[in-house]
Copies of this chain bind each other. A is one copy, B any other.
Amino acid sequence: MFVRKPSDVQDNPVDMEGVQGVSMRLLLGRADGAPTFAMRQFTVKPGGHTPRHQHDYEHGVYIAHGSGTVEFGGKDHHVAAGDALFIEPNQIHQFRADQGDELVFLCMVPTTFDCGKPTPGS
């Protein structure tokens, strides 16, 4: 159990193919004993983007600050602070900070997928 300020959590650059200007704070994860889901906070610098990819687990997303574009379901969706998104398993998706400001969002994932494998970044 805890209260954490995002500023107290290390903001780690995300080093993956297809990523530009993205960092992640793990607000709640497996190392904390989270039994079901993890909470990550991503910051995408203006002009940056997450990888355009898909995986076998879902995302529940909340846009905390800024605005940007999220591609999923074969379309671009403009998003802004306060929006909630559901990206189903196996859906191609990408977050882009293409509106001139930083895009900060929470991205929740299950702590395990595919019969118990630990979810990357959880």
Contacts and interface: CB of A to CB of B under 8 A. Distances in A.
A97 B5 CA distance: 19
Given A36-B37, A108-B37, A86 B2 contact: yes
Interface stretch (A15-23, A45-53, A71-79): A71-79
A69 to B, nearest CB: 11
27 contacts: A1-B72, A1-B73, A1-B85, A1-B86, A2-B85, A3-B79, A4-B84, A5-B83, A6-B82, A6-B84, A9-B84, A27-B60, A28-B86, A32-B86, A34-B58, A35-B58, A36-B37, A36-B58, A36-B110, A37-B37, A37-B110, A39-B60, A39-B62, A39-B84, A60-B108, A62-B106, A108-B108
